Structure 1
Amino acid sequence: MEKKTIAKLRLFFSGLESRHQEQQDFFKDMNIAFKSGTKTFTASYKDGQLYMNKEIVDADFSDALEAVLSEAVKYESLEAVYCERGTNVIITADARNVNIRYEEPKPEAEVKVESRRDYLIKASKAPELLKEIGIMTKDGKVKNDMIRKYNQIDHFIEVVEPILRNMDPNEPLTIMDCACGKSYLTFVLNYYIREVMKRSCYFIGIDYSEGVIKSSIERAERLGYRNMEFIQEDLRTYVPSRKIDMVVSLHACDIATD
């Protein structure tokens, strides 16, 4: 690519870097395809590591972008797909122009559920979440004996959604779950606010049980939900370190979600 194309690409990458700084909790990975003629060469960045030219190096996001720019000089075109929870940012560059577009992640094949409910948490768009909380099997089917729980969780979102719509959409939300237990509904609320409503959000789960706090931390790590923290503490003595916008406290018994 010519110098003027690289210069324009640098401007787009500058915007991408700012986005990453502001939304680090929601970043997943970035995949790059360099093209010359019929040949395609790929690179990727994830978890602080850049894979390029068959090498893996530790790099912060800014350094990774610089490395991609240096490599792009050797090729005719480039496509960079920046993936975060709920949105893919796609930058394309060639001799004619540099463009950017935004896309929602592609859903999996439609999942049939034996229910007449029009779900807000759609199985085809939230398979990782639904598998993690035990509603969906590993092969992507909603368990028949979990449809009632699925309906309860979705109804919870239906109840909360109008409240969320009335909050300032430009302000990040901080939500505290008191006596969070295994935090199933909080994980679902996290998914809905971030990936459906496209809002910045942060969650704090409080419980006195070491076991449920440990399992919630592990679940957040498996899902890649970095905008959550779980604290083992007595609610009567806990003092939040930040402004709380919403408090939820849900009765939980076995697999109850009421």
Structure 2
Amino acid sequence: MKKDRAYIENLLKDLVEKNSFIKATVSNPVDKKYKIKKINLKPILIKDEIFIQLESFKDNKAYHENICYCEFLPKFSQILEEFKQILIVSQGADYQILKGKSDYNIKESKNSKNLVSLEHNKKKQYIIEDGKPVPFLIKLGVMGEDGKVFKNSYDKFRQINKYLEFIDDTIREMQSKKLIDTHIKVVDFGCGKSYLTFALHHYLKNIKDFTYEIIGLDLKKDVMDKCNRIANELECDNLEFLTGNIKDFDKLQNVDLIFSLHACNNATDYALLKGLELGAKAILAVPCCQHEFNEKMSKNKNSNFFLKENTIGKHGILFEKFTSIATDAFRAQALELCGFRTQVMEFIDMEHTPKNILIKAIKEKVSRESLEKKYNEYRTFKEYLGIEPILDELLSPYFLIKYN
């Protein structure tokens, strides 16, 4: 249905005042040069007063601002002017809103979302709750038959839920961009014991009510055989585990989402390449053990990096941290040249695992002007480091802009 801006403003106003507003996301700025690309909104309670928290994403960094509700409505009116897409999630209904030339097209769909406490320092609410039995978590030894998470498994439980939050946000964004509807094809490269693969299946089937095809891939045959046995015992439909190398995978084509968690060193690069080969619309990668940049940069002490940044380069531990950050920055920039919008964010707190950087990439249309700017940044950074990364060889055939 088509409505004017006043209707959208009153819709959010009513949801907040009825205490049924859960969260909202605005994206796709009207002005492509606008530096803020997305804003997440959610209500919070501070000293018994309702505030709206704005999480704005600019230059792949998140900025937070809490605005009291009485001052928020004029701000929301301004936001509506600046963005084309809005997703409002409330208790009982989602509202997908697309801005047209003179009005807004609204699609309403029912959901089963429950309200959570608005306390600013509230206890963390998880997608999978502690205390409610979940068959795959019981089978994998994370919780008991009563649904209570074992104390020594709580970090794993927390990681699973954090992962599902990223999946939830990614799927919603893919839907808002019309990259998928309610069916999704997913491949998990290097799935290991497959806690997260089973979590994805549970989420899509029991929470999201999607149709799906999910494949987990790993080199360890005994582990994949065990995962297949568990999947059969739990009657997990359309979930399959295969033994093999990422480079050789050809089971699915036109994949919607691939993820690669803790793939060592260049295994992450080959996972990114395979995602492009399979036509993936979104990629989630949590790399680890980034040795390549460290080794190659160490062999070229005449590079601009060592000439200008030897205060870092001469200290082994600082140099190691820098090369790890540089590796993931290079990966994110390369994916942008392949037509993705990327974000680099924290996957889980450092106290739980040192492998905590997640690269999130989702397909989007990019102007030639933007591509030229990104390519110049990419080339300048590579020359500054003084190396030829494997990723450049792998992904450059997929760059949307070509230079000699």
With normalisation by structure 2, the TM-score equals 0.33
Deviation at 1:215, TM superposition (A): 1.0
Contact 1:123 1:130 in 2 (8 A): no
Deviation at 1:213, TM superposition (A): 0.8
1:201 aligns with 2:212: yes
The 5-angstrom pairing of residues 172-191 of structure 1 reads: 172-191=183-202
- The residue aligned with 1:131 is 138
- The residue aligned with 2:150 is 143
Please give the secondary structure, in 2, of the residue aligned with 1:251: strand
Task: Give per-residue Cα distances to partners, 1:195-254, cap 9 Å, x unaligned.
Answer: 11111111011112111110110111121102111111111112233321100111289x
Letter of the 2:123 partner, please give it: R
Q: Which has the higher helix share?
A: 2
**For the residues of structure 1 that align with 2:153 and 2:240, how far apart are their CA atoms?**
27
Deviation at 1:189, TM superposition (A): 1.1
Deviation at 1:116, TM superposition (A): 2.7
**For the residues of structure 2 that align with 1:124 and 1:221, how far apart are their CA atoms?**
25
**For the residues of structure 2 that align with 1:145 and 1:183, how far apart are their CA atoms?**
18
Please give the secondary structure, in 1, of the residue aligned with 2:241: strand
**For the residues of structure 2 that align with 1:196 and 1:219, how far apart are their CA atoms?**
20
Letter of the 2:204 partner, please give it: I
1:117 aligns with 2:124: yes
Please give the secondary structure, in 1, of the residue aligned with 2:192: coil
- The residue aligned with 2:242 is 231
Letter of the 2:151 partner, please give it: N
**For the residues of structure 2 that align with 1:241 and 1:145, how far apart are their CA atoms?**
37
Task: Give per-residue Cα distances to partners, 1:1-53, cap 9 Å, x unaligned.
Answer: xxxxxxxxxxxxxxxxxxxxxxxxxxxxxxxxxxxxxxxxxxxxxxxxxxxxx
Please give the secondary structure, in 2, of the residue aligned with 1:242: coil
Contact 2:215 2:242 in 1 (8 A): yes
1:154 aligns with 2:165: no
Please give the secondary structure, in 1, of the residue aligned with 2:165: helix
Higher RCO, 1 vs 2 (CA within 8 Å, ≥6 residues apart): 1
- The residue aligned with 2:293 is none
Letter of the 1:181 partner, please give it: G
**For the residues of structure 1 that align with 2:238 and 2:148, how far apart are their CA atoms?**
28
Identity between Structure 1 and Structure 2 (%): 29
Contact 2:133 2:147 in 1 (8 A): no
Structure 1 alignment gaps of length 5 or more: 1-103, 105-114
**For the residues of structure 2 that align with 1:189 and 1:239, how far apart are their CA atoms?**
21
Contact 2:126 2:161 in 1 (8 A): yes
Deviation at 1:127, TM superposition (A): 2.2
**For the residues of structure 1 that align with 2:143 and 2:263, how far apart are their CA atoms?**
20
With normalisation by structure 1, the TM-score equals 0.50
Please give the secondary structure, in 1, of the residue aligned with 2:136: helix
Deviation at 1:151, TM superposition (A): 0.9
1:166 aligns with 2:173: yes
Structure 2 alignment gaps of length 5 or more: 1-111, 113-121, 265-351, 357-404
Q: 1:211 to 1:252 in 2, by over 3 A?
A: farther
Contact 2:131 2:148 in 1 (8 A): no
**For the residues of structure 2 that align with 1:202 and 1:125, how far apart are their CA atoms?**
26
Letter of the 1:140 partner, please give it: G
Please give the secondary structure, in 1, of the residue aligned with 2:261: coil
